[in-house]
Amino acid sequence: MSDAVMLERIAARRAELDLLEEQLVKQLAEVRGERDELVVAERVVQRISEQGFGEYLSLAPAPEAQVGGRSVLLIPTRGAGIGPEALPDDY
């Protein structure tokens, strides 16, 4: 294998790794952002619990949640005897 071919392969692989690095940096930033949101959510739940409002958390309907900064519908876990009526109205 000639030096030119080897250098070409090395350059191609380096380009692939540079692209992968960019993707991982972006993904890491998203993960850190979501982790920071969870820290804030934990603090809010702790404050609510400390103020004696913890019992209301289980009574309040929670049709939507935030995941990675995006709103998502919460749906119940599938199980025996659970039909479509268990889904949120917006589903």
pLDDT digits over 44-84, tens only? 888 888 877 655 555 555 556 667 777 766 666 667 777 77
Domain of residue 60: give its range. 3-75
Nearest to 91 by CA among 63, 69, 65: 63
Query: In the prediction, which pLDDT does 89 show?
Result: 67
**Integer Cα distance of 42 and 55 in angstroms:** 16
Which residue is associated with the tokens 């000639």? 2
Query: In the prediction, which pLDDT does 36 show?
Result: 93
Query: In the prediction, which pLDDT does 85 show?
Result: 73
Q: Structure pTM?
A: 0.48
Query: In the prediction, which pLDDT does 7 show?
Result: 96
Residue 33: inside a domain, yes or no? yes
* Counted domains in the chain: 1
Query: In the prediction, which pLDDT does 87 show?
Result: 67
Mean pLDDT, rounded, of the chain = 81
Structure tokens at 40: 């804030």
Residue 39: inside a domain, yes or no? yes
Residue 89: inside a domain, yes or no? no
**Integer Cα distance of 46 and 20 in angstroms:** 39
